Amino acid sequence: MADLMTHGAILIIAIPLLAAFLTPLVGMASQKARNILVVVSLLFVVVLVFALARDISINGIHVYTLGATAPEVTTPGNFIVPVRIILEVDGMSMLMAMLWSIVSLAAAIFSFSHIANETGQNRFYTLLLLMVTGGFGMMFTGDLFNLFVFLEIASISGAALIAYRTKFADTQEGGFKYIVVSAIASLMVLFAIGLLYAQYNLLNIGALAEVIQYTTVDKIALALLLIAFTIKAGMVPLHLWFPDAYSVAPASITGMLVITSHACMYAAFRVCFSLYGNMLDAPVVGWILIVFGLLSMFVGVTMAIFQKDVMRFMSYHAISQLGYMWVGVGVGLAVLGNAELLATYGRDAMSGGIFHILNHAMYKPLLFFTGGALFHMTGTRDLSKMGGLAHKMKWTAILYIIGTLSISGIPPLNGFSSKILIYESVYQFNAILTITGIVVSILTLASFTKAFHSAFMGAELPEYGKVTEVPKSMIIGMAILAAGIVFITLFPSLVVDRAIQPAADALINQGAYIDAITGAIP
Amino acid sequence: MDYIPLDFPFLAAALLVGISFYIIIFKKNLTKLIMGVAMLASGVNLFLVALGYRAGANAPIYTDVPEGPMVMSIPQALTLTSIVINVAVLALMLTMVIHIYRHTGTLDSEKSRKMKG
Amino acid sequence: MLSKIVRTAANQLIVFIAVFGLYVIAHGHITPGGGFQGGAIIVSGVVMLLVAFSSHEIKKGLRERVLSVVESSGALVFIILAFAGIGTVFFYNLLLGTPLFGGIPATGPGPGNIWTGGIIPLMNFAVGLKVIAGLSAVVLALALFSSGEEVEE
C-alpha cells in the first residue's frame, strides 16, 4: 500500500488517460463493457484520491519526478536546478482533486442515460476521460509549462464536448466561443511563461519562487497570467462567453466545466500565493481581486433574474457564486504581508473562500443536472413553457430544493456554513463586502424560488402528460452529489479542520512549498 | 547577421500579436477570426523561439556540431508543444464554423448569433 | 478528381514523401524531428492525394474503423511504455543499457548512433502512428464536409 502511495499522484493522472485510450477499442466491441470501464476507472481514481489525501495530511507535501531514478530526486547528480517534470501535491491540490473526482464520477453516471440516444458515444466518453485527466493534471503539477499543457487538454476536450450535439445550431456557437476564448487565454499564459523563462531560466514553480523579484517584466507576466486565468474562470467584465457556452452543453458536461473554472481559479491562486508570494504588492492585487469579485457577485445575480432559459439562468448564478470565492481569498491576499491581521481574519477569510469552492462544487453541478433532467424529459430549456412537473418528477423536485437551499445560504445546509465564515471574517476588513454578500444571497433565493415555481409548481400541462421520472442512472448521479451536500451539512467542523484549514495553510506557507522541491537533494 | 539588430524578432512578434488582436476584436467574418487566432499563435511561437537565441551560437544538435556555445533548446521544445496544441485547436474551430454555416447559412458573426441577453 | 498527369505524379510522389516522413520519425532522437513532425509530413502527402483524387475515392481506401483502431493502438503503446517503468518511476527509461536501443550516446560532437535513447524511439513510432491516423481522419472529414457529403460519425 505504501508503494501505491508513492506513485499515487501520477496514477491519478495516468489511469483516466489509459482508460481514455482504451475506450474506442472497447466501445467497438460492446457498449456495456465501455460503460463499465468508465465507471470502474473513475471509482478507482476516487479511492486513490482519498487515500492520497490521508497520506498527505500525515506526511506532508508529496513530490514526484517523472523519469528520474527515484520519485524524490528533483536535482540529480551534477545539476544545480530541478529538472524534469515534477508533480507537487499539497493540501490545496488534494482538496480540488477530491471534489473533481466526485463530480466526474457523478457526471459520468448521469451521462449514461442523458446521451443514450445520441450517436458517437465512444467519442463522448473518450473526451470526458481526457477532460478528467486535464483537470487532475492542472491540480497536481508543480511546473508552469505543464500547467499550460493540461489547461489546453481540458479546454479542447471541454469545447469538443460542448459542441457534441451537432444537430442544434446554438451548441456550435457556444462551443466556438468557448474554444476561441480558451485559445486566447492559453496563448497569453504561454507568453507569460516565455517572459518568466527569459528572465530566470526556470520553469518549475518552487524553483522560480526562490529567485523571483518584482521587476517590470515580472509585473507584466503576473498581469497576463491573472487576466488569462480570470477570463477562464468567468470573472466580470470578461464573462460574456460564460453563459453562452455553459447553457448549451449536455448537462453532465456543464457540471464538469464548472469545476474546470474552479481549477483555473486554483491556478490563479497558485500563481499569486506560491509563485510570487510576498514579492508582489499584496494590497493592490488583493484589492483588484476583491473589487472584481464584488462586481461578479452583483452582475451575476442581477442578470440571472430575468433569464428564461434554465441553464443560462444557472450559469449566471455560477458567476455570482464564483465572486464570493474571489472576495474571500482576495481578502486573504490583501493582508498577506501583515502577519497579525492574517492570523486574526485573513486565514479565516481564505478558509471561507476555499470552503465555498468545495460547497459550490457540490451544489452547482447538482442544479445543472436537475436542469438537464428537465431538458431530457420536456425537450425544452425554456422556463416559460414548463409547468406542473412536480407531480411526475418528484425526485428531481426534491433535489432541486436541496440545491436551492444550499446556494442561497439557508441554515443548516453547507452553503450557509461557508457564507457565514466569509461574512464574519470579511466584515473586519471592510463592512461593505459583507452587506453586498447578504443582499446577493437574498436575490439568489428570490430568483431560484421563482424558477422553481414556474417549472415545478402549478397545474399539470396537457403536453407533458407523458412525462415520467428521469431514468435511474440520472437519479444516481444527482444523488451522489446530494450525499456530498448532506455529509458536509452534518459535519461542517470536521470538514473545515481536516480539509479546508490545511488547504488555506498550504497556500499561505510558501516556504514549505519551496523546501519540498529544493530541499530534496540526494 | 550583424546588420539585423537583435531586437528584430521581438518587434515582429509584437506586430503579429497586435494585428491579431485587432482582427479578433474588430472583424465580423468567422473565418477571419480563425485566421486571427492562428496569427496570434504564430506570434507567440516566434517570441518563444527568439528568446532562446544567443548571438553566434550553433543549433542544439549533438551530431557533428562545431565547437562553441549552443542556442537554448528548452524554448524550442515549448514551441513544438504549442504548435501541436494549436493544430488541434484550429481543427476544432474549423469544424465548428462548418456546422454554424450549415445551420445558419451565413458566416457573419452578427447575423448567425442565436443567443442574446 | 484532377487530370491524369496530376494523378500519376501524385502516385509517384507519395512513395518519396512516405519514406522521408518515416526517416524523420525514426531519427527523432538524434536529428530534429520526431513523432509529430514525421507524422505531419506523411499527412501532407495524404492531403496531396486528397486533392489529386477526390475525397470519395480516398474514403474507399481509408475506412474510418481502421483509422480509429490504428489511432487508439498508437496511443495505447505510448502509455503502456510509460507505465512499463513504474517499478522505479513512471516514464522511467528502462531500456537504457540493454541491447535493444540501449547504447549510451557519446557526448560532444560526433555521428549520431540510432541504437541509443532507450524507449524514446519506440515512443516516437507510437506517436507517429497516432498522428498519421488522427490527422488523416481530420483532413478526410473536412474534405468530405466541404463536398457536401453527410455527417460522418
The CATH classification of domain B9-55+65-104, taken from the options 1.20.1460, 1.10.3470, 3.30.450, 1.10.287: 1.10.287
Q: Find which of C24, C27, C29, C36 to mutate to test the B interface (most B CBs within 10 Å of its CB).
A: C36
pLDDT score for C153: 46
Q: Is the Cβ pair B88, A173 closer than 8 Å?
A: no
Q: pLDDT of A121-133, one tens digit each?
A: 889 999 999 999 9
Closest to A496 in 3D by CA, of A342, A391, A351: A351
Identity of residue A402: I
Please count the residues of chain C. Answer: 153
Provide the grid cell at A363.
451544489
The SS3 assignment for A62 reads: strand
Task: Give domain status of residue A241, yes or no.
Answer: no
Separation CA A474–CA A468 (nearest Å): 13
Between these two residues, C90 and B84, which has the higher pLDDT value?
B84
Helix (H) or strand (E) holding A64: strand A62-65
Tell me if residue A145 falls in helix, strand or coil. helix
Question: What is the three-class DSSP state of C92?
Answer: coil
Is B103 in contact with A169 (CB distance < 8 Å)?
A: yes
How distant, in Å, are the alpha carbons of A159, A190, B76, C54 from that of A217?
32, 14, 21, 52
- What is the number of CB-based contacts under 8 A between chain A and chain B? 90
Mark yes or no for CB contact A21/C92 under 8 Å. Answer: no
Q: Please give the pLDDT value at position B19.
A: 96
Q: Which residues contact A219 (CB under 8 A, 6 or more apart)?
A: none
Q: Grade residue C74 by pLDDT with cuts at 50, 70 and 90.
A: very high
pLDDT band, very low/low/confident/very high, at A253 (cuts 50, 70, 90): very high
CA count, 13 A, side-chain hemisphere, A124: 28
In this structure, is residue A123 part of a structural domain?
no
Give me the phi and psi of A136, to 5 degrees please: -65, -40
Per-residue pLDDT tens over the stretch A386-401? 877 887 888 888 899 9
* CB-based contact A241:A302 (threshold 8 Å): no
Chains within contact range of chain A (3+ C-beta pairs < 8 Å): B, C
* A249 phi and psi angles, rounded to 5 deg: -75, 160
Q: Least CB-CB distance to B82: which of A190, A197, A198?
A: A190
Higher pLDDT, residue C151 or A169: A169
Residue type, A55: D
Q: How far apart are the first and last CA of chain A?
A: 24
Asked if residue A330 lies in contact with residue A293, where contact means CB atoms within 8 angstroms, the answer is yes
ipTM of the complex: 0.94
C83: CB partners within 8 A, 6+ apart: A14, A18, C90
Mean pLDDT of chain A: 89
Distance CA A75, CA A64 (A): 12
> DSSP for A42-71?
HHHHHHHHHHHHHHHHHH--EEEETTSSST
- Concatenating the DSSP letter of every residue in C22-91 gives HHHHHTTTTSS--HHHHHHHHHHHHHHHHHHS-HHHHHHHS-HHHHHHHHHHHHHHHHHHHHTTTTTSTT
pLDDT at B2: 61
Phi/psi-derived region of residue A60, left when phi > 0, alpha when psi is between -120 and 50, beta in every other case: left
Contact C79 A21 (CB under 8 A): yes
* H helices present in A270-346, as ranges: 282-305, 310-334, 339-341
If you write DSSP's letter for every residue of A119-141 in order, what string do you get? S-HHHHHHHHHHHHHHHHHHHHB
- The answer to whether A436 and A294 have CB atoms below 8 angstroms apart is yes
At A522, is the pLDDT very low, low, confident or very high (cuts 50, 70, 90)?
very low
**Total number of domains constituting chain A:** 1
In this structure, is residue A380 part of a structural domain?
yes
Strands (DSSP E) contained in A61-194 are: 62-65, 86-89
Nearest to A172 among B17, B44, B96 (CB): B96
A433 in any annotated domain: yes
- State the residue range of the domain holding A377: 284-490
- The number of beta carbons lying within 10 Å of the beta carbon of residue C56 is 12
CA distance A389 to A405: 19
pLDDT for A470-490, tens place per residue? 888 888 889 999 999 999 999
Least confident of A58-67, A80-89, A400-409, C98-107: C98-107
Enclosing H/E stretch for A89:
strand A86-89
C91: which 3 cell numbers? 516514464
Torsions phi, psi of A384, nearest 5? -75, -15
Hey, are the CB atoms on C72 and A22 less than 8 Å from each other? Answer: yes
Instruction: Give the span between the Cα atoms of A148 and A131, in whole angstroms.
Output: 14
The crossing angle, in degrees rounded to 10, of helices A91-114 and A347-378 is: 10
Q: Determine, yes or no, domain membership for A192.
A: no
**Residue B68: Cβ-neighbour burial (10 angstroms; 0-12, 13-18, 19+):** exposed
CB B49 within 8 A of CB B75: yes
Sign of CA dihedral A463, A466, A472, A475: positive
**B17: Cα within 13 Å, side-chain hemisphere:** 17
> Which residue of chain B has the CA closest to A172?
B96
Q: What's the Cα-to-Cα distance from C92 to each of A401, C66, C82, rounded to whole Å?
A: 51, 31, 7
CB-based contact A244 B74, cutoff 8 Å: no
Cell reading at A55 = 497520506
Distance CA A101, CA C21 (A): 41
DSSP class of A470: P
Entry field: residues in chain B: 117
Asked, for residue A227, whether it belongs to a domain, the answer is no
Q: Where are the domains of chain B?
A: 9-55+65-104
Please give the C-alpha separations between residue A375 and each of A115, A454, B99, C42, in angstroms, as whole numbers. Answer: 12, 14, 23, 45
For chain A, say whether C68 makes contact (Cβ under 8 Å).
yes
pLDDT tens, A273-318? Answer: 989 888 888 888 999 999 999 999 999 999 888 888 889 999 999 9
Compute chain B's Rg from CA coordinates. Answer: 19
pLDDT, mean of residues A148-168: 93
Query: Where is A87: in which H helix or E strand?
Result: strand A86-89
- Judged by CB atoms closer than 8 Å, whether chains meet at C72 and A18 is answered as no
3 state DSSP class of A277: helix
Closest residue, chain A, to B51 (C-alpha): A198
The shortest CB-CB distance from A194 to any of B37, B48, B114 is to: B48
pLDDT at A517: 84
Please answer yes or no on whether C71 and A24 come within 8 Å at the CB atom: yes
List pLDDT tens digits, range A170-211.
899 999 999 999 999 999 999 999 999 999 988 999 889 889
Amino acid at the residue C152? E
Residues 6+ apart with CB under 8 A from A263: A96, A100, A135, A138, A139, A154
How far apart are alpha carbons C128 and A40 in whole angstroms? 30
Asked if C111's CB is within 8 angstroms of B95's CB, the reply is no
| Residues A146-161, mean pLDDT to the nearest whole number | 94
Q: Which of A309, A120, A154, A151 shows the shortest CA–CA distance to A225?
A: A151
